[in-house]
């Protein structure tokens, strides 16, 4: 099955059709996608800014990392789940947009950055997390996260504008 056929199956599915045909379903999913962003990217932004040393620099980084983790991961779950629903409802149109693939690639890169950070630094946060100025490679991880996730949001917001051209 080709990508176009797969997208057509999703688009024609009960879920896809129901989302498009209901007056309220699509905007509600869009709204939840936005609220999910406030928790996921929003809370991660505070951690990234702390790693960079420009936000709450007197607070140990581990306090933010440990305490915000469940909330921001929950936020990512909401963002991803609603994102999948939005994709299903618009599949045949969205797969024709290069900006959609750029967004996906950026998500993968940001995800890799998060996993590398977790494996390399996340396990021994007790050792470095109490320092006020953090090692340079940790700062870079924060900067990369901030830049990549911002780019994800920018490309995401561009989707409807490039769609109607």
Partner 1 sequence: MSILELFKAIQTSDLSRFIGSQNHLFCAVAQMFHIAGLILLLASIVLVSLRLLGIGLPNLSVIQLSKATKWLVWSGLGLLTVSGIVIFVPAATNYAPNTFFWSKFILLAIALLLHVTLFRKVTTSENPNPFIAKTTAVLSLSLWFSVAFAGRFIGFF
Please give the residue ranges that form the binding site for partner 1 (CB under 8 A): 23, 26-28, 30-31, 34-35, 37-39, 41-43, 45-46, 55-56, 59-60, 63-64, 67-68, 71, 150, 153-154, 157-158, 161, 165
Q: Which is nearer to partner 1, 9 or 53 (CB)?
A: 53
CB of 123 to partner 1, least distance (A): 21
Q: Which residues have C-beta within 8 Å of that of residue 80, sequence separation ≥ 6?
A: 36
Q: Whose Cβ is closer to partner 1: residue 41's or residue 121's?
A: 41
Contacts of 112-117 spanning 24+ positions with Cβ under 8 A: 113/141, 113/144, 113/145, 113/148, 114/145, 116/141, 117/141, 117/145
**Of the two residues 8 and 42, which places its CB atom closer to partner 1 in the complex?**
42
Least separation, in Å, of the C-beta of 27 and partner 1? 4
3 state SS of 160:
helix
Cβ 60 to partner 1 shortest distance, Å: 8
Spatial neighbors of 76 by CB under 8 A, at least 6 apart, are 36, 40
Q: How far is the CB of 122 from partner 1 (least distance, A)?
A: 18
Q: What φ, ψ does residue 50 adopt, rounded to 5°?
A: -65, -45
> At closest approach, how far in Å is the CB of 2 from partner 1?
30
For the record, the structure tokens of 46 come out as 């505070």
- For partner 1, give the closer residue by CB, 24 or 136: 24
Q: Which is nearer to partner 1, 88 or 146 (CB)?
A: 146
């Amino acid at each position: 099955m080709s990508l176009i056929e797969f997208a057509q199956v999703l688009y024609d599915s009960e879920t896809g059709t129901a989302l498009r045909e209901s007056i309220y379903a699509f905007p509600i999913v869009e709204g939840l996608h936005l609220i999910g962003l406030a928790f996921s990217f929003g809370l991660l932004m505070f951690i990234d800014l702390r790693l960079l040393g420009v936000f709450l620099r007197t607070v140990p980084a581990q306090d933010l990392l440990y305490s915000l983790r469940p909330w921001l991961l929950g936020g990512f779950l909401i963002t991803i789940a609603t994102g999948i629903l939005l994709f299903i409802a618009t599949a045949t149109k969205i797969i024709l947009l290069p900006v959609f693939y750029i967004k996906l690639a950026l998500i993968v890169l940001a995800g890799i950055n998060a996993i590398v950070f977790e494996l390399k630094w996340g396990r021994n946060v007790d050792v470095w997390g109490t320092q006020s100025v953090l090692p340079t490679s940790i700062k870079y991880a924060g900067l990369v996260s901030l830049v990549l996730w911002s780019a994800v949001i920018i490309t995401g917001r561009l989707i409807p504008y490039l769609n109607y051209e």
